[in-house]
Amino acid sequence: MGMQVPQYWAEARLQEKFGRGHVSGRVSLTVRRFGWSDSSQSEAQAMAETRVRDAFDRILAGEKLPRNEPRVPYDAEGLPIREEIVARHGNEVITRNSYGSRCLNSPDVLFADVDFKPPPMPPWRRKQFVAAVVAGAVCGVLWHPVAGIAAFIAALILIGTIHGWWARRRDLQLGGGPEARALAPVKAFVAANPDWHLRVYRTPNGFRLLAMHRTFDPLDPQVNAFFEAIGADSYYALSCRHQHCFRARVSGKPWRMGLREHMPYRRSAWPIAEEHRPERERWVAEYERKAEGYAACRFVERLGSRDYVSATQSVQRLHDDLCSATRDLPMA
């Protein structure tokens, strides 16, 4: 299954009750399956009916299959991406995710995010609370309970301040801070693979990488090796395999732009009921107005070779435009 982002969705339910002594050993069985289509709702429903009948018969025959499929927008193995389609650009599809941001989905242009990781916690940090309790207890016994409470609070603040200073100093000693530490495995990978051409973008919480020198199948072993080498998020790597695509968020996260109100029915997978759409559209209009003043990421540098292919270049231009990657805007 290649990348699929269908326009239409349907669900079929099949239930049967059996008499005692049925060969399957069951009294009853209920199975639900989804169907999808880019052409029509009726075609999606027909697919759902076919899939539910097939699953029902296989379960009844003893095959261990789930009776229901998860109604989630993304990362359901065996199911397409279930998000609102905002636009299509050739093979690339722009969708709106569960919290309202726009995402670029590509079947073969490799994206990966590397998040900053916190510095190692000093061993005495775990004893911070205990030390504060001891200080408070001693003062409470020697002087007054109020003095004990004050000593406890003061000890927490003092130890916390010392810990913060230690962590920052240790962070710099370990590799120049979170940015340098996050990029170190990326640069090491490029040094070992000089034919790779990576564009590096700064995100609010790390870096985004875009491979320019060739396209990739998400199931290609080289992709997984790349993800492991640079320390990419394991959930993202698994999602790429499940959905047969690469993905990059190209507009800001709502809460980073000051939108306190959540997108209506954000926990419901697309499509939503007609009666709920006006409220959703009102929220989306406000979100898009806010998003104009923010960038999803910012271009930083190129690493490796300067080779590229037309497919990656066109996606890079689309990505940079949607992200406002070359504009001087706050990131969200």
pLDDT digits (tens, 9 = 90+) for 232-273: 988 999 999 999 999 999 999 999 999 988 888 765 678 988
All residues at 6 or more sequence positions from 81 whose CB lies less than 8 Å from its CB, including other chains: 3, 4, 5, 73, 74, 93, 95, 105, 243, 245
Q: Is 250 left (phi over 0), alpha (psi -120 to 50) or beta?
A: alpha
The average confidence (pLDDT) of the chain is 88
What is the pLDDT averaged over residues 99-116?
96
Q: Can you tell me the distance from the alpha carbon of 297 to that of 129, in angstroms, rounded to the nearest whole number?
A: 38
pLDDT digits (tens, 9 = 90+) for 19-72: 776 766 688 899 999 999 999 999 999 999 999 999 999 999 989 999 999 988
Structure tokens that stand for 299 in this block: 């271009």
What is the pLDDT averaged over residues 300-323?
98
What is the pLDDT averaged over residues 281-303?
97
pLDDT at site 171: 56
Q: Does the pLDDT value for residue 147 go beyond 80?
A: no
Q: Does the pLDDT value for residue 158 go beyond 70?
A: no
Q: If 0-12 CB within 10 Å is exposed, 13-18 middle and 19+ buried, where does residue 42 land?
A: exposed
Percent of the chain with pLDDT over 70: 80
Range of weakest confidence among 203-212, 264-273, 311-320: 264-273
Residue 5's Cα: distance from chain center in Å?
17
Q: Which residue has the tokens 């009294």?
A: 27
pLDDT digits (tens, 9 = 90+) for 70-94: 988 988 888 999 999 999 999 999 9
Long-range residue pairs from 238-242, CB within 8 A, at least 24 positions apart, any chain: 238/75, 239/74, 239/75, 242/75, 242/76, 242/77, 242/78
Banded pLDDT at 117 (limits 50, 70, 90): confident
pLDDT digits (tens, 9 = 90+) for 174-192: 556 789 889 999 999 999 9
Domain boundaries, the chain: 8-60, 84-116+177-323, 123-173
Strands 298-304 and 111-115: unpaired
